[in-house]
Structure 1
Amino acid sequence: MSDPHQHPFLGSLSQAVKTVWDAGDALLAVSGGADSMALLRGMLDLNQAHSGRLAVAHFNHNLQPAVSDDVARWLQQTCERLDIPFHLGASDVGQLAAESGQGIEESARNARYAFFKQTALDNQFTQVLVAHTRDDQVETILHHLLRGTGVAGLRGMPERRALVPLSDGQPEIALLRPMLTVTRAQAVDYLRTVGQDYRDDPSNVDVAFTRNRIRHELLPLLETSFNPNIRDALSKLSQQAGDLQDALEQIVHQQLRGALLDVNADIVRLRWQPLNEQTRHVIRECFAMLWKQQHWPRQRMNFSHYDRLATLLQNGGTANLPGGIVAERRGELVVLRRQSHFT
């Protein structure tokens, strides 16, 4: 394809970012890899017709300092050449993981998104765009399946979520994933047409990380030995699970709102009897929604934990849960408390 402006990648991206031009700004999360560089070049191309305010945010995890420092310098120079503002953040993720007791992947993600959030707040951006592709979505669904998930996990990553919720005096900052219908191969092909190089992260081939084992070992095995169209099958499953979850969440939101007695950052009290009239699945989903609303750590929460909470609600007892959350049924209430040393 000779004309990059006619590339299918741009067509898909254009459809997904219509709300960006309504808001007039976007902070682009760019690692320097092929997917995020395609997002950067694609948004610059589309912005010629809109004149929105764009900037790049890059986070250096310092897991391989010599490599990551070089990538950061290269990306900053690239942004200068493309005339787009560049914001750099950095942290020693290995040290953060050791101090927090979390895994490297979870610590890296938490530090990275905290930087994106703060950069958006400091520079008054209302939308942060990340370059997750359809391939990332498929890997996420498989990761959720292996960890143990419900219907919500089969949906994978949403196209949009609140990075910073709406509050008094502060507009919502949305996290957008406009490339979920785009394959990694399409992103690379687009970069080829515009003559843009990129930097592969060496950690992306390190099979010590679960996601990399899924990408480089499990998915190829499923394609060659079970179903060559496994990516399409999982993508369709994600869409169907999303439709089902949307309908379920309307029910769950209503039931949870009716059961909650009082809430603060570390303690929640709810009446268990109204929820006990619901199906066990709705009860589990109520606790899952509560965790999300409270911003309590969800990475280590799986089906068995939410099912344990359903048992506690129905039969009584106490449960110690990931993230230092303790749940107990007391009389007519279920009380959930987050221990202070985990905050």
Structure 2
Amino acid sequence: MVERIQKLLARVDRRDRWLVGVSGGRDSIALMELLVRAGFSDLVVVHVNHQLRGGESDSDARFVEELAGRCGIPFYQEAVDVKGRMEAEKKGIELVAREVRHEVYARALVAYEAKGVLLGHHADDQAETVLYNLLRGSNGLKGIRFENIVNIDGVSMRLVRPLLEIRRSEIDDYIARYEIEYREDASNAEAFTARNRIRHEVMPLLVDIMQREVVPSINAAAEVSREQGDFLAKELEMDQLLDPQGRIFLPAFKELDFVLQQSVIFHYLKRHGVPDLSRDLVARCVALKDTDVGAKCNLPGGRWMRRKEQRLFIQE
């Protein structure tokens, strides 16, 4: 594992300053330890206290702060009332928690002038995410990328996941081998969220049914889907389909094959920051090209995709 990690880390310039997101759990702790061993000398540990487990959440924060101190790494933390924000915004816990982390990372990125954020997602996280998104009706086998850019409050933030090809069992072995201390979030073992149920119930059942490991097959299929999507995106030449105001020009759009029309809509919505891009949502937006259907379609976040004057565009 360590040798493969070294190859993966070679894709990240260790001379740059990097934030590393550390919750205190085994995955993020293992990542931090591996980065230190690999000679990353300009790290900043960032911890987000979601305040979901009372005193345990505060203990996690203290644990990570003490560990960063022992390693001589600067420490940045913020505490956020995730539950209160969930109730105020009527959103699910996973979505709010992710939004909060990204916002905290963006502020830390600016404060420390860092290159990006290193995160501890691994291969099993990838497979669980692919299944979760597939069952929610995502457009294709949508998983986690090794690297991507997110824009938060005007901050363009690079997210990199060096452990994405490493299995959870390998991380467990590494933690045990070097007797690395970490914090166990008891809620991760409770099957009360969809993602936890996929982890603890669905994945073991699939292994039992297939009589072999299923994570490599799921991730390989997701990689093929990603490559096909990237190829279509390159072939589309999106800007040639847009008018000077950035709206989709319907006469040119209608000349495309239906599969390419779907890809245009998907990338157009993604470019404009529309979340939860399901196959159904993309299909409903594509249908707007025909005048015998309604002229607008609801989008997540209170926006619309609208047809007007031979154009498709997003309306606030």
TM-score normalised by L of structure 1: 0.86
The structure 2 residue matched to 1:295, chosen from 273, 277, 283, is 273
Q: Quote the Cα distance in structure 2 between the aligned partners of 1:29 and 1:133.
A: 14
- Alignment partner, residue 341 of structure 1: none
- Alignment partner, residue 44 of structure 2: 55
- Alignment partner, residue 238 of structure 1: 222
Aligned to 1:99, the other structure's residue is in SS state helix
Report if aligned partners of 2:52, 2:83 keep a CA contact under 8 Å in 1: yes
- Alignment partner, residue 269 of structure 1: 247
Q: Note the alpha carbon deviations across 1:218-237, whole angstroms, 9 max, x for none.
A: 11111112452221211221
Q: Kindly state the Cα deviation for residue 281 of structure 1 after the two structures are TM-superposed.
A: 2.0
Q: For residues 112-123 of structure 1, what are the structure 2 equivalents within 5 Å?
A: 112-123=101-112
Q: Kindly state the Cα deviation for residue 240 of structure 1 after the two structures are TM-superposed.
A: 1.6
Report if aligned partners of 1:12, 1:179 keep a CA contact under 8 Å in 2: no
Report if aligned partners of 2:133, 2:142 keep a CA contact under 8 Å in 1: no
The structure 1 residue matched to 2:37, chosen from 29, 41, 45, is 45
- Alignment partner, residue 25 of structure 1: 17
Q: Note the alpha carbon deviations across 1:18-43, whole angstroms, 9 max, x for none.
A: 24326522110111111111100000
Aligned to 1:75, the other structure's residue is in SS state helix
Report if aligned partners of 1:259, 1:275 keep a CA contact under 8 Å in 2: yes
Report if aligned partners of 1:24, 1:53 keep a CA contact under 8 Å in 2: yes
Task: Give the aligned residue type for 2:7.
Answer: Q
The structure 2 residue matched to 1:137, chosen from 117, 121, 126, is 126
Q: Quote the Cα distance in structure 1 between the aligned partners of 2:265 and 2:84.
A: 32
The structure 2 residue matched to 1:34, chosen from 2, 26, 35, is 26
Q: Kindly state the Cα deviation for residue 183 of structure 1 after the two structures are TM-superposed.
A: 0.8
Runs (5+) with no aligned partner, structure 2? none
Aligned to 1:21, the other structure's residue is in SS state coil
Q: Quote the Cα distance in structure 1 between the aligned partners of 2:287 and 2:178.
A: 56
Q: Kindly state the Cα deviation for residue 155 of structure 1 after the two structures are TM-superposed.
A: 4.7
Structure 1 residues 203, 114: CA separation in 2 closer, same or farther (over 3 Å shift)? same
Does residue 306 (structure 1) correspond to residue 282 (structure 2)? The answer is yes
Aligned to 2:243, the other structure's residue is in SS state strand
Report if aligned partners of 2:150, 2:157 keep a CA contact under 8 Å in 1: yes
Does residue 185 (structure 1) correspond to residue 169 (structure 2)? The answer is yes
Aligned to 1:182, the other structure's residue is in SS state coil
Report if aligned partners of 2:16, 2:114 keep a CA contact under 8 Å in 1: no
Report if aligned partners of 1:34, 1:199 keep a CA contact under 8 Å in 2: yes
Does residue 325 (structure 1) correspond to residue 312 (structure 2)? The answer is no
Q: Kindly state the Cα deviation for residue 129 of structure 1 after the two structures are TM-superposed.
A: 0.5
Structure 1 residues 227, 313: CA separation in 2 closer, same or farther (over 3 Å shift)? farther
* RMSD (Å), alpha carbons: 1.9
Q: For residues 135-214 of structure 1, what are the structure 2 equivalents within 5 Å?
A: 135-151=124-140, 154-164=141-151, 173-214=157-198
Q: Quote the Cα distance in structure 1 between the aligned partners of 2:14 and 2:180.
A: 28
Normalized per residue, the structure richer in helix is: 1
Q: Quote the Cα distance in structure 2 between the aligned partners of 1:173 and 1:311.
A: 34
Aligned to 1:20, the other structure's residue is in SS state coil
Report if aligned partners of 2:134, 2:142 keep a CA contact under 8 Å in 1: no
Task: Give the aligned residue type for 1:95.
Answer: G
Structure 1 residues 337, 35: CA separation in 2 closer, same or farther (over 3 Å shift)? same
Report if aligned partners of 1:55, 1:85 keep a CA contact under 8 Å in 2: yes
Aligned to 1:288, the other structure's residue is in SS state helix
Task: Give the aligned residue type for 1:113.
Answer: H
Structure 1 residues 163, 332: CA separation in 2 closer, same or farther (over 3 Å shift)? closer
Task: Give the aligned residue type for 1:258.
Answer: Q
Task: Give the aligned residue type for 2:239.
Answer: R
- Alignment partner, residue 5 of structure 1: none
Q: Quote the Cα distance in structure 2 between the aligned partners of 1:125 and 1:118.
A: 10
Q: Quote the Cα distance in structure 2 between the aligned partners of 1:112 and 1:259.
A: 35
Runs (5+) with no aligned partner, structure 1? 1-7, 339-343
Q: Quote the Cα distance in structure 2 between the aligned partners of 1:294 and 1:226.
A: 40
Structure 1 residues 251, 180: CA separation in 2 closer, same or farther (over 3 Å shift)? same
Q: Kindly state the Cα deviation for residue 164 of structure 1 after the two structures are TM-superposed.
A: 4.4
Structure 1 residues 313, 23: CA separation in 2 closer, same or farther (over 3 Å shift)? farther
- More divergent stretch after superposition (35-44 vs 274-283): 274-283
Q: Kindly state the Cα deviation for residue 292 of structure 1 after the two structures are TM-superposed.
A: 2.0
Q: Kindly state the Cα deviation for residue 208 of structure 1 after the two structures are TM-superposed.
A: 2.2
Q: Quote the Cα distance in structure 1 between the aligned partners of 2:160 and 2:151.
A: 12
Identity value in percent: 27
Q: Quote the Cα distance in structure 1 between the aligned partners of 2:93 and 2:187.
A: 11
Q: Quote the Cα distance in structure 2 between the aligned partners of 1:238 and 1:312.
A: 29
Q: Quote the Cα distance in structure 1 between the aligned partners of 2:27 and 2:182.
A: 9
